[in-house]
């Protein structure tokens, strides 16, 4: 597991675009169907826009119809952390990067098999690297 990355808001603002800062550091959400990656069909890896850690693989991406990039599982389970989110008067599960603790989106129990999960992520929180996607954890 890589070392945790800690930076001040000023350091994050200097590194990220305003939209990336709003999403990753202030738990914002981009508008549906507005992000760069929701309709991306290329092969590759989705990395954290804050620290570059590999988070998701194109093999696990699916069209959820929600307007956000959606995945059935992380590339490696340790690359994300799940936290209880009770904002907006509802109970949800927030997903953050395990390395920089950047807000990525939320996970819901209504995805397709093999996991039945829908990791609904913000494009602004992700960078995409086209090419052969790296190794994947077995479904268990």
Q: Out of 48, 51, 100, 120, pick the active-site residue.
A: 120
CB-count burial class (<10 Å; 0-12, 13-18, 19+) for 13: middle
48 catalytic residue (yes or no): no
Burial class of 101 by CB neighbour count within 10 A (0 to 12, 13 to 18, 19+)? middle
* Count of Cβ atoms closer than 10 Å to residue 68 Cβ: 23
Which pair of structure tokens corresponds to residue 96? 């953050």
Q: Which residues are catalytic?
A: 120
């Amino acid at each position: 597991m890589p070392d945790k990355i800690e930076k001040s808001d000023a350091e994050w603002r200097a590194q990220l675009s305003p939209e990336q800062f709003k999403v990753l550091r202030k738990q914002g959400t981009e508008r549906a169907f507005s992000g760069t990656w929701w309709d991306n069909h290329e092969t590759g890896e989705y990395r954290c826009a804050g620290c570059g850690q590999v988070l998701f693989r194109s093999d696990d991406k699916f069209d959820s119809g929600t307007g956000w990039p959606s995945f059935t599982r992380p590339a490696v389970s340790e690359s994300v952390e799940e936290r209880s989110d009770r904002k907006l008067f509802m109970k949800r599960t927030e997903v953050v990067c395990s390395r920089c603790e950047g807000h990525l989106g939320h996970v819901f129990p209504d995805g397709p098999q093999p996991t039945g999960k829908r990791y609904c992520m913000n494009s602004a929180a992700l960078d995409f690297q086209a090419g052969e996607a790296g190794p994947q954890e077995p479904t268990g």
